[in-house]
Amino acid sequence: MTITFTESNQQDVWENRYQGRKTGWDRGQSSPAIGHWFPSMCPPPARILVPACGCGHEVVTLCEQGYAVTAIDFAPSAIETLNTKLQQKGLQADVIQADLLAWEPTKTFDIIYEQTALCALEPALWHNYADRLYRWLTAEGLLLGLFMQTDREGGPPWHCAIESLKKIFPATRWHWPPQQDQRVTHPSGFNELVLALKRRNSVR
């Protein structure tokens, strides 16, 4: 049986962290990586999904660029904060409070911006989540990933070793970039592995 966030009582855990302002993963602004990706992204109004969007710094940035953004998180406080930001800036996005491992979109996306979602999930759930990302993208859609590198046991955040990433995002499903060692620093003291994976049309 698939364990979802809600069934494993994780919703209350993360909601309490937002309410207690224990959100070390939150930069307070968009990641610097997003600006570097803009030239390689399909232009607005392409459809972009931001899973586990948190307070939504990247959601705001993408909306400002003209993208059609869907943002999902299951912590009510995060959703409320994001909606307030969007309203204050006169921006619109499809903001959804739901469990990532239970939710299904009605349409596929051109781009998925993945940051801190995978590392927040227990590794036993990674294949399930990766399968969903594959299904949620259009043919040759783009997965923009920032994968936390903690180099330690346990979590969250869980260490996203590149060997593990290659198992859940296999080359039969994804085009991997030649450069696989680019990283950006994170205020938590860790850094994130930067990868842009392109979805293959079909599984060989």
Query: Residue 28: left (phi > 0), alpha (psi -120 to 50), or beta?
Result: left
pLDDT at residue 58, rounded to an integer: 93
**Residues in a beta bridge with 144:** 113, 196
The CATH homologous superfamily to which domain 1-16+38-71+90-148+163-172 belongs is Vaccinia Virus protein VP39 (3.40.50.150)
Query: Which of 64-73, 100-109, 179-188 is predicted with the least confidence, judged by mean pLDDT?
Result: 179-188
Is 189's pLDDT higher than 90? Answer: no
Rounded to two decimals, the pTM is 0.88
Contact at 8 Å (CB) between 149 and 163?
Answer: no
pLDDT of residue 35: 86
Q: What's residue 44's pLDDT?
A: 95
- On the question of pLDDT at 89 being above 90, the answer is yes
All residues at 6 or more sequence positions from 76 whose CB lies less than 8 Å from its CB, including other chains: 15, 97
Q: Where are the domains of the chain?
A: 1-16+38-71+90-148+163-172
Q: pLDDT of 95-139, one tens digit each?
A: 999 988 999 999 999 999 998 899 989 999 999 999 999 999 999
Asked if the model's pLDDT at residue 169 lies above 60, the reply is yes
Q: Both tokens of residue 196?
A: 């842009």
Determine how many CB atoms are found less than 10 A away from the CB of residue 122. Answer: 12
145 neighbors 194 (Cβ within 8 angstroms): yes
